[in-house]
A and B are shown apart, each in its own frame.
Chain A
Amino acid sequence: MKKTLGAVAAAAAIAISLSACGGSAPASTEAKGEINYWLWDANQLPAYQQCADDFTKANPDIKVKITQRGWDDYWTTLTNGFVAGTAPDVFTNHLSKYPEYAAKKQLLSLDDAVAKDGIKLESYTKGLPELWVGQDGKRYGLPKDWDTVGLFYNTAMTDSAGLTAEQMANLDWNPQDGGSYEKAIAHLTVDKNGVRGDAAGFDKNNVAVYGLGLAGSGSGQGQTEWSFLSATTGWSATDKNPWGTKFNYDDPKFQETIAWWAGLVEKGYMPKLETTVGASLADNFGAGKAAINTTGDWLIGQYKSYKGVKTAFAPTPKGPEGKRASMFNGLADSVWAGSKNPAASVKWVEYLASTACQDVVASKGVVFPALTSSSEKAAEAFKAKGTDVSAFTTHVKEGTTFLFPIADKAAKVDGIMKPAMDAVLSGKKPASSLTEANNQVNALFK
């Protein structure tokens, strides 16, 4: 009796190990069954739910189960899922995260699918598809959307300050005196007694409305905080992008930019960093505590939803050389290498990247899809809602975007840069202290 039990156990063990080995080869070549899909943005959930319903209608054998998780828990849950074998088959991926997953062989390469199913990469907004080609030359995601950064401003405040939409759209900036951008911020700042930031007798310790809101120090990327300024000086975060291995936080051009930006706090035009802990940039704007916010186009809907506040959008200011700049970030959908249903998963990713789904997303007017044609439809959908989004699309039209810095060890770089940037912005350390942080970051790549 004992022997037979042992034999059965051994056979079962072999069967399990065989099926485990099967993970590297397609576990199921047939495209059917249920697949799990994760995303983090709740605003986009309705659009993708509709995509999933349409997809199942066209492919009755495949069911898609969508799970939305907040950004903070998304990545740790995903990593744990990789280890435990419970990760979703398909998930929304981010440029700062995918290099590590690709290096750890957790992502399925999509090159075969692209070749076999004839996906036209040139129909996506220029630059987006290449972002998802890893260091090994393999493609790990199909682009779903893109975003740029702009100035969100309270029109009641600009009106009372005598600033026209025309003026707001044509601000210029330089790291020395801040240009007309700083002048506008100063003029929009109002203290408790109603004195403007650029007038005599301004009390910087009792500010009622800050000219510029503050979300945080921006860590090493400053996507919505300072990258649109530093990039106009010709600075870039890494020696090459993607896959830079040498960071440039020691560059005087960068440190000047940060010094100027941090100086706004000292002048009383921007809130102190310590007041931002636990606070929401957008909610403070909605509560009328700031006149301008710099943030990304994915928040248009939220800013438009505040009652009694009219928000308009202006492109980021022109830099010293007369050109604007905005970080260009794009999301994509990736397939987990451990998926038990790779065929169906790939099919779903292809559908997510197709005109059919991206047009659905466009019609909701919440985000700009990656396909050029769908992106134009999204702009129209925004327009139909009464929102002028040219501040965001202008960067793409005029080619003034630059890429999100894609590098290995992003979490470790962040672990060094966030405290370092916090220290500068809170006035604890001078901008020159970033040279030391830069040395630490570069040491990670030796």
Chain B
Amino acid sequence: MTTTTARGAAPARKATGTGTGNAAPRRRRRPRSDLKVALLFIAPALLGFVAFYLVPSIRGVYLSFTEYSVLGDPTWIGIKNYTAIFADDLFWNAMAVTVQYVALNIGFQTVIALGLALLMHNVAKSTLIRGALLLPFLVANVIVALLWFWMLDYQLGIVNEVINWLGLPRIAFFGSEQWAIPTIAGVNVWRHMGYTALLIFAGLQSIPNHVYEVASLDGASPTRTFWSITMPLLRPVLVLVLVVTVIGSFQVFDTVAVTTGGGPINASRVIQMYIYQKAFGESDFGYASALSVILFVILALVAFVQMKFLKGNESDLD
């Protein structure tokens, strides 16, 4: 701690100073007492982070180098799990299926949510309608999945009844290899688009109105305004939304678990489903941990790349 920073920070501290019994001569040593107070405030979150994230993560990494069936002790087997994973066809299949899901899910979700957000911002100003958009998100994931599972049922579902009534052939939405992943992606788009739209909507509101006024004075068309003003100024929020939704999308599990269970054949065996199957179905917790570590690394890379190339931490407003 240098005196320069202490001096530099002093005025600010004077304004927000705690002022409780801190005599003036001790002002210089305040950085340390700030740390204490800060720690006090961080403590609950830190405790939760250490107990529920850090320790389990470290243990997960450790378990990925072991053979462990829960009942019994883990045995250290080095990188055997990892070498096995790279030779495991089902792992590569799971990755391909997951990427396919993420592409469909994020693609549709982001575009639809952006559209909804623009509508919320410019057209639908009633709180009721804005609230209604969020409704699917308020229903539990599993319920949503089951609801669609029944509605899209091949024999008895209402959607297939309508298709049949239109004179078209019935579609095995969850049963056929071609349809399983698009269907699951669609169900999750339906559930999440309102929430994603809300995040983007908040971003839209932070764009100052005067920019639009200037644009309209200059005679810019609505399309031009959208691409030259809305999109660039929305970028930080969009990047954040993308990072969060992509990470969430990679971890799709519940919808798959309650509908297809990974089938037909391996068409919807996404990575989280495969991890669950290995761990809780086949009691192979070591292997499942190694899969999870790989997923962790992939997600960290994805987030890093998104932040880096989309410059999510900078705003064009300045």
For B259, what are the chain A residues with a Cβ–Cβ distance below 8 Å? 277-278
Contacts of B162-216 to chain A: CB distance below 8 A: 170, 172, 174-177
List 30 interface pairs A-B (beta carbons < 8 Å), by A numbering: A76-B281, A79-B70, A79-B283, A82-B70, A82-B71, A83-B70, A100-B283, A104-B72, A105-B71, A106-B71, A272-B172, A272-B175, A274-B264, A275-B170, A275-B175, A277-B175, A278-B153, A278-B259, A279-B155, A284-B155, A287-B155, A411-B283, A412-B282, A412-B284, A414-B281, A415-B277, A415-B282, A419-B263, A419-B266, A422-B264
B residues engaging A (CB < 8 A)? 69-72, 149-150, 153-156, 170, 172, 174-177, 259-260, 263-266, 277, 280-284
A273 touching B175, Cβ below 8 Å: yes
**Closest beta carbon of chain A to B140's beta carbon, Å:** 16
For B72, what are the chain A residues with a Cβ–Cβ distance below 8 Å? 104
- A426 on the B face (CB < 8 A): yes
Given contacts A274-B172, A274-B175, A428-B177, 15 further A-B contacts (CB under 8 A): A79-B70, A79-B71, A79-B283, A82-B71, A274-B264, A276-B175, A278-B154, A278-B175, A287-B156, A289-B155, A411-B283, A419-B263, A419-B265, A426-B265, A428-B265
Partner of B71, one of A83, A279, A419: A83
A277 touching B71, Cβ below 8 Å: no
**Closest beta carbon of chain A to B223's beta carbon, Å:** 43
Q: How far is the CA of A133 from the CA of B176 in the complex (A)?
A: 42
- A423 on the B face (CB < 8 A): yes
With both beta carbons as reference points, the residue of chain A lying nearest to B160 in the complex is identified as A275
For B70, what are the chain A residues with a Cβ–Cβ distance below 8 Å? 79, 82-83
Q: A289-B155, A411-B282 are in contact. Are A277 and B277 (CB under 8 A)?
A: no
For A76, what are the chain B residues with a Cβ–Cβ distance below 8 Å? 280-281
Q: How far is the CA of A275 from the CA of B174 in the complex (A)?
A: 9
Q: How far is the CA of A276 from the CA of B155 in the complex (A)?
A: 9
For A287, what are the chain B residues with a Cβ–Cβ distance below 8 Å? 155-156
Partner of B174, one of A83, A105, A277, A418: A277
A104 touching B69, Cβ below 8 Å: yes
For B281, what are the chain A residues with a Cβ–Cβ distance below 8 Å? 76, 411, 414-415
B71 touching A274, Cβ below 8 Å: no
Say which size band chain A's interface belongs to: 20 to 34
Q: A79-B280, A277-B175 are in contact. Are A426 and B69 (CB under 8 A)?
A: no
For B176, what are the chain A residues with a Cβ–Cβ distance below 8 Å? 274
A residues engaging B (CB < 8 A)? 76, 79, 82-83, 100, 104-106, 272-279, 284, 287, 289, 411-412, 414-415, 418-419, 422-423, 426, 428
For B174, what are the chain A residues with a Cβ–Cβ distance below 8 Å? 277-278
Q: A83-B70, A415-B277 are in contact. Are A277 and B263 (CB under 8 A)?
A: yes
**Closest beta carbon of chain A to B159's beta carbon, Å:** 13
- Tell me which of A274, A279, A289 has the highest count of chain B C-beta atoms within 10 A of its own C-beta: A274
With both beta carbons as reference points, the residue of chain A lying nearest to B171 in the complex is identified as A274
**Closest beta carbon of chain B to A347's beta carbon, Å:** 26
Q: How far is the CA of A79 from the CA of B153 in the complex (A)?
A: 32
Q: How far is the CA of A284 from the CA of B264 in the complex (A)?
A: 20
A278 touching B265, Cβ below 8 Å: no
A-B CB proximity, top 3 nearest? A274-B175, A277-B175, A274-B172
Q: A106-B71, A272-B172 are in contact. Are A277 and B264 (CB under 8 A)?
A: yes
For B155, what are the chain A residues with a Cβ–Cβ distance below 8 Å? 275, 279, 284, 287, 289
**Closest beta carbon of chain A to B74's beta carbon, Å:** 13
With both beta carbons as reference points, the residue of chain B lying nearest to A205 in the complex is identified as B169
- Tell me which of B154, B176, B177, B264 has the highest count of chain A C-beta atoms within 10 A of its own C-beta: B264
Q: How far is the CA of A422 from the CA of B269 in the complex (A)?
A: 14
**Closest beta carbon of chain A to B31's beta carbon, Å:** 32
**Closest beta carbon of chain A to B75's beta carbon, Å:** 14
Q: How far is the CA of A289 from the CA of B284 in the complex (A)?
A: 41
Q: How far is the CA of A422 from the CA of B69 in the complex (A)?
A: 28
Q: How far is the CA of A422 from the CA of B265 in the complex (A)?
A: 5
For B282, what are the chain A residues with a Cβ–Cβ distance below 8 Å? 411-412, 415
With both beta carbons as reference points, the residue of chain A lying nearest to B269 in the complex is identified as A419
With both beta carbons as reference points, the residue of chain B lying nearest to A426 in the complex is identified as B264
Q: How far is the CA of A106 from the CA of B72 in the complex (A)?
A: 10
Q: How far is the CA of A279 from the CA of B280 in the complex (A)?
A: 25
Q: How far is the CA of A412 from the CA of B282 in the complex (A)?
A: 6
- Tell me which of B69, B265, B277 has the highest count of chain A C-beta atoms within 10 A of its own C-beta: B265
Partner of A279, one of B153, B264, B284: B153
Partner of B149, one of A275, A278, A418, A423: A278
Q: How far is the CA of A272 from the CA of B154 in the complex (A)?
A: 11
**Closest beta carbon of chain B to A119's beta carbon, Å:** 28
For B283, what are the chain A residues with a Cβ–Cβ distance below 8 Å? 79, 100, 411
With both beta carbons as reference points, the residue of chain B lying nearest to A422 in the complex is identified as B265
**Closest beta carbon of chain A to B252's beta carbon, Å:** 18
**Closest beta carbon of chain B to A437's beta carbon, Å:** 12
For B265, what are the chain A residues with a Cβ–Cβ distance below 8 Å? 419, 422-423, 426, 428
Q: How far is the CA of A411 from the CA of B278 in the complex (A)?
A: 9
Q: How far is the CA of A76 from the CA of B69 in the complex (A)?
A: 13
Q: How far is the CA of A160 from the CA of B260 in the complex (A)?
A: 37
Q: How far is the CA of A276 from the CA of B154 in the complex (A)?
A: 8
- Tell me which of A106, A414, A418, A419 has the highest count of chain B C-beta atoms within 10 A of its own C-beta: A419
For B264, what are the chain A residues with a Cβ–Cβ distance below 8 Å? 273-274, 277, 422, 426
With both beta carbons as reference points, the residue of chain A lying nearest to B284 in the complex is identified as A412
A277 touching B280, Cβ below 8 Å: no
Q: How far is the CA of A289 from the CA of B170 in the complex (A)?
A: 15
With both beta carbons as reference points, the residue of chain A lying nearest to B173 in the complex is identified as A277
B263 touching A275, Cβ below 8 Å: no
A104 touching B71, Cβ below 8 Å: yes
Q: How far is the CA of A420 from the CA of B71 in the complex (A)?
A: 29
- Tell me which of A284, A287, A411, A423 has the highest count of chain B C-beta atoms within 10 A of its own C-beta: A411
With both beta carbons as reference points, the residue of chain B lying nearest to A428 in the complex is identified as B265
With both beta carbons as reference points, the residue of chain B lying nearest to A284 in the complex is identified as B155
Q: A277-B172, A279-B153 are in contact. Are A422 and B263 (CB under 8 A)?
A: yes
**Closest beta carbon of chain B to A423's beta carbon, Å:** 5
For A428, what are the chain B residues with a Cβ–Cβ distance below 8 Å? 177, 265
**Closest beta carbon of chain B to A349's beta carbon, Å:** 21
Q: How far is the CA of A411 from the CA of B266 in the complex (A)?
A: 16
With both beta carbons as reference points, the residue of chain B lying nearest to A429 in the complex is identified as B265
**Closest beta carbon of chain A to B7's beta carbon, Å:** 43
For A106, what are the chain B residues with a Cβ–Cβ distance below 8 Å? 71
- Tell me which of A287, A289, A415, A428 has the highest count of chain B C-beta atoms within 10 A of its own C-beta: A415
Q: How far is the CA of A215 from the CA of B280 in the complex (A)?
A: 24
For B263, what are the chain A residues with a Cβ–Cβ distance below 8 Å? 277, 418-419, 422
Q: How far is the CA of A100 from the CA of B71 in the complex (A)?
A: 10
Q: How far is the CA of A106 from the CA of B265 in the complex (A)?
A: 33
Q: How far is the CA of A365 from the CA of B212 in the complex (A)?
A: 77
Q: How far is the CA of A273 from the CA of B277 in the complex (A)?
A: 22
